A and B are shown apart, each in its own frame.
Chain A
Amino acid sequence: MSLQESSYAKSVEKPSFFGRIRAEWLIIGAAVLIVGWLALVPLVFLLWQSFMTPAAGDVPAVFTFGNYIHALTDSTILPLFRNSVVFATGTSCLALVIGTLFAWLNERTNTPFKMMFYAASIVPLVIPSILFTVSWIMMASPQIGLFNLILKNAFGLSGPVFDIYSMGGMIWVEGLHYSPIAFLLMSAAFRSMDPSLEESALMSGASIGQIMFRITLKLVWPALIASFFILFIRSIESFEVPALLGMPVGIEVFTSAIYEAIREYPSNVGLASAYAAALLLIASFGIYFQSKLSSQGSKYSTVTGKGFRPRPFDLGPWRIPAAILIVFYMILVIVLPFLVLFWSSLNKYYSVPSWAGLSRLSFDAYAKVINYPMVGQAVWNSALLSLGAATTIMLLTAVICWIVIRTKLPARWLLDNVASLPMVFPGLVLGLSVMICYLYLDIGIYGTTWIIFIAYVTRFMPYGIRYNTTSMLQIHKDLEESAAMSGASWSQSFVRIVLPLLKPGLLAGWIYIVVVSIRELSSSVLLYSPGSEVVSIVIWELWQNGQYVELSAFGVMMIIALFIVVMLAQLVGKRFGVKEA
């Protein structure tokens, strides 16, 4: 029996603590119920639909195995699936390497421009996928790409150097776009690391490379696995990059099969669900593997009771190359796409930057976007929804992660898995399940902003779980046990010990959810009602109408606004929690 368990068992025995224990189980019980309800609604819907035929007119839906048989025997699916796996693996590896490297430079070393870099590195995540992809088309398309034109003129080449319309191009764009996911998670992990191990290694004469591979990366292994998992699932689901870059050269991915099935009339949600069920299996395997890590006890705990003070690592002469690398990355991934967007927003129509275009520039698009119908309402709703959803999710999943990691409850692996599954539901299926659930369960939230809130919390809960889990694994249970010994109640130690120590993960996860919930489209589009429009609907509307110039202007304003939010979140974060040395 672990110490943790016995200390709680002890407190249960004491009748004088009875009231306090009830309160603690109330919080834990409520968290489990809420998470269970939110996650099971779409899961039950998805499994139920996957066994039903489509209903049309007077023909009702009936039970069938046909969807699974179709999904498993359709030979055209295999090449799509292979493309998806190649794309997702490549994207995850690229994003992981970039994200980890820069997170390490930013958190563990004394590289210059740190504070600025943290906020700037979120920018690719903020740019809507469509805009990020289109700006890369403008830079590296074989016909009109700026890089190709410049290189062609400079060296008199006959053909283009870069071709963005290829598997490599897809991986490059998506990998860069998703690198902030890895950056955020790895930053949180590096921030909570005890530097004494690295310092001892340095004293014993290890090189920076040896320290990085033998110590640093081994300690953040759970975070690496979690990042890879999130990146892999996200790129399997990704739609924009394959559609814009893969389709023109005939590279099709798995999601297009799901999309086609839903698009048919009568809408074949059943077949789409059967495809999604295959993804569920893969994801469950990944979650099970991660839960194995968390059951290895305190192997990865670096935040202990012994004077924990994370200190940056002196790069010495390597500071300058590191700074050059950071500047290069910022130019390539942040500044250039941003400038291309900014150029587009000043233009009258979709065109590549050129000297001739200079005469056409104006700020008209900004005025047009600000006066666009529903923009004000949408920005307000999205701000409330994203801040609300991010805060709710991070607190809710902190409790769930505590249960999964700290207690020995028998079904805790299942809890982790159930709460993580919404990650792999296609957004449209998730939206449809929430829509149908609250249409029939009439508790007055259908048609209000609350239904979108529920969808966001459901959809992004898995990310909260992953961010919190990796951070919680690093916190040694000694600290809570000491608190319990000193007479602190569960709620006291949770609020005053666990949450502050969890801060790096909480903050990173919070920022991530704020950003992605502002972009969420596929479930919002079904659930919004007049009066509860959100920003992603405006983006979709502009894209759908080909109003690329206005869309770019909107994108530029969004980037600036979210950049400020991230800077503020960091400042607030500094005032709360463990002081850094």
Chain B
Amino acid sequence: MKKSHILKGISRRALAIGFVATLAAGPALAQSVADVAAYSGPDRMEKLVAAAKKEGKLTLYTATPVDDVNQVIAAFTAKYGIQVTLWRGSSEDVLRRSLTEIKAGRHEVDVIETNGPELEALHRENILQAVNSPVISEIFAGAVPAHKEWIGSRLNIITASYNTDAVKPADVPKTWNDLLDPKWNGKIGIESEAYDWLATVIQSFPSKEEGLAFFKKLATTNHPSLHKGHPQLANMTASGEKPLTMQVYLYRVLQLEKEGAPVKALTIGPSIARINGLGIARTTTHPNAAILYQQFTLTEAQKILASRYFTPTNTKEVPFPAGMEVKVIEPTGMLDDLTAWRQTFEKTFQ
């Protein structure tokens, strides 16, 4: 016991000396994050890896489930020996914490990983650094904003689902109009905050008015009930409480199905997808490690994400499932019109 204390003391001292040394050597080595991000020479990758290893660590704020992001981090650390410190919160918490800390001059976070609209908010707050990465050309076009301050790494596909015990194969609805059949009265569950889903799904109707009219009709004929949380909605499908649910995460349905739950995904109209992505903080103190981590998530880690049932955005690494029509929820639109869509949603379903 005592020995380990002494060792700890020594290594702490070594760290402190190392820190002082880094500070002293700082001006000579320091590259601004903008320089690192803009560099596109043929030796980009070698330079990045060498400098990142020297930095040795980075801090990631993420809205990805801990279980999943840990797999990516483990592979990253195994390959480069760079330690990743992880902080996990909801997509809104990631935005709130990064923004508040950076505005107060606390530059802890290097990489910020969250939902599209929150990343777009960080862009407007001038928090993020645009990165000129060669990997962008391999990414699904809807997942990279023009300003390149963040890059989408995975799609979270929102789909309908049904309970296979409660719904006979012949009864499974195939078109929007099938849902108006009175036999679904009281049996449909809807996520209570799926404002972005409504905004996007409506685009596949001939007009916004017709789309809204359809959902209003659905609400008045079959009285779908509202439930908070996509994962809870998936659970309720599995337990049979709501035989048919309109917005569950595809990955959750696949996981439940694998565990033996009587639940299946169901596509009516296009698949609606939320983008999750990552951006580099302009105030990062580990620019190379941060950019390397982003690169890693967008390339090698894509297969890990696919194995966790997510839908990766790098179609060169992992092609989209054949025949899948994906409609991505537009992040800027959701940022500006969230309140308006919330009111429309409430008017339609309540």
Contact = CB atoms under 8 A, between A and B. Distances in A.
Nearest to B227: A248
A203 interface: no
A267 B96 contact: yes
A250 interface: yes
A567 interface: no
A89 interface: no
9 contacts: A56-B121, A143-B240, A144-B239, A247-B226, A352-B240, A373-B67, A530-B86, A537-B88, A546-B252
Given A264-B338, A439-B104, A526-B96, A243 B228 contact: yes
Given A263-B92, A352-B239, A529 B100 contact: no
B88 A541 contact: yes
Nearest to B234: A546
B125 interface: yes
Interface string A450-482: 000000000000000000000000000000000
Given A143-B241, A265-B335, A349 B228 contact: no
A19 interface: no
B93 A260 contact: no
A141 B96 CA distance: 37
Given A526-B96, A530-B86, A350 B238 contact: yes
A436 B96 CA distance: 11
* Most chain A CB neighbours (cut-off 10 Å) among B67, B100, B117: B67
Interface in A132-146: 137-138, 141, 143-144
Interface in B97-121: 97, 100-101, 104, 106, 108, 117-118, 121
B97 A526 contact: yes
Interface stretch (B48-56, B256-264, B274-282, B288-296): B256-264
Given A349-B238, A435-B100, A57 B125 contact: yes
Nearest to B263: A349
B104 A440 contact: yes
Contacts of A144: 239-241
Interface string A353-368: 0000000100000000
A137 B232 CA distance: 12
Given A57-B126, A144-B241, A249-B225, A348 B261 contact: yes
Interface in B209-242: 225-232, 234-236, 238-242
A349 B256 CA distance: 7
A56 B93 contact: no
A530 B110 CA distance: 14
B65 interface: yes
A544 B156 CA distance: 14
B108 A436 contact: no
A247 B106 contact: no
Interface in A500-557: 525-526, 528-530, 537, 541, 543-546, 548
Most buried by B among A56, A243, A350, A435: A350
Nearest to B237: A350
A439 B106 contact: yes
Contacts of A439: 100-101, 104, 106
B191 to A, nearest CB: 10
A165 B70 CA distance: 38
Nearest to B99: A267
Contacts of A541: 65-66, 88
A548 B259 CA distance: 13
Interface string A243-274: 11001111000000000100111110000000
B235 A247 contact: no
Nearest to B65: A545
Contacts of A267: 92, 96
A374 interface: yes
Interface in B166-218: 192
A179 to B, nearest CB: 25
B339 interface: yes
Interface string B246-262: 00000010001001110
A530 B93 contact: no
Given A348-B259, A447-B108, A546 B235 contact: yes
Nearest to A250: B350
Nearest to A261: B339
Contact of A351 (B106, B225, B239, B242): B239
Given A57-B126, A446-B106, A526-B97, A244 B228 contact: yes
A543 B89 CA distance: 12
B259 A436 contact: no
Interface in B310-350: 335, 338-339, 342, 350
Contact of A545 (B85, B225, B231, B238): B231
A247 B194 CA distance: 14
A544 B65 contact: yes
Closest 7 CB pairs of A and B: A546-B231, A350-B235, A439-B104, A248-B225, A349-B261, A57-B124, A348-B259
B19 interface: no
B250 to A, nearest CB: 13
B59 interface: yes
A176 B88 CA distance: 33
Contacts of B227: 244, 247-248
A447 B226 CA distance: 38
A247 B189 CA distance: 12
B77 interface: no
Given A141-B241, A247-B192, A525 B252 contact: no
A349 to B, nearest CB: 4
A530 B121 contact: no
Interface string A48-78: 0000000011100000000000000000000
Nearest to B68: A545
A55 to B, nearest CB: 9
- Of listed B88, B227, B338, residue having the most chain A CB within 10 A: B88
A56 B338 CA distance: 15
Contacts of A432: 96, 100
Interface in A12-44: none
B155 to A, nearest CB: 17
Contacts of B338: 264-265
Contacts of A264: 338-339
Given A263-B92, A352-B239, A446-B106, A373 B66 contact: yes
A439 B85 CA distance: 20
Contacts of A141: 241
Nearest to A239: B228
A494 B129 CA distance: 59
A481 B89 CA distance: 54
Nearest to B124: A57
A373 B89 CA distance: 14
Nearest to B257: A349
B135 to A, nearest CB: 27
B93 to A, nearest CB: 6
A545 B234 CA distance: 11
A235 B84 CA distance: 41
B121 to A, nearest CB: 5
Contacts of B100: 432, 435-436, 439
B103 to A, nearest CB: 9
A348 B88 CA distance: 25
A244 B234 CA distance: 14
A241 to B, nearest CB: 11
Interface in B77-95: 85-90, 92-93, 95
A138 B240 CA distance: 11
